[in-house]
Amino acid sequence: MPELGNSRGYTIGPKGEERKVADYRQALQELRAMPKACWRRPNDAGNWGIVTAVRWEMRPITASQSAELT
């Protein structure tokens, strides 16, 4: 989700192998290529932690999400 980035971009990869990717679409492409996609996102308390995908679900991009990507 585009809102999971911060001012430096998106942090992807497993713990100890994390890297920053500035572009959302590039981050998504790299996550799809990982055996187990991992990325940082904030929890309910606002602390950023690593999560691992269980499955992929393709969803259409809404107009507001599309505007965020440009």
Q: How confident is the model at residue 64 (pLDDT cuts 50, 70, 90)?
A: low
Q: What is the pLDDT of residue 2?
A: 64
Residue 28 CA to residue 1 CA, distance in Å, equals: 9
Quick: pLDDT tens for 7-62: 788 999 999 999 999 998 899 999 999 999 999 988 999 899 999 999 878 778 77
The H-or-E segment that residue 28 falls in is: helix 24-33
Residue 24 CA to residue 63 CA, distance in Å, equals: 16
Give the pTM. Answer: 0.73
Residue 29 CA to residue 48 CA, distance in Å, equals: 21
Q: What is the pLDDT of residue 21?
A: 94
Q: CB 63: neighbour CB atoms within 10 A?
A: 6
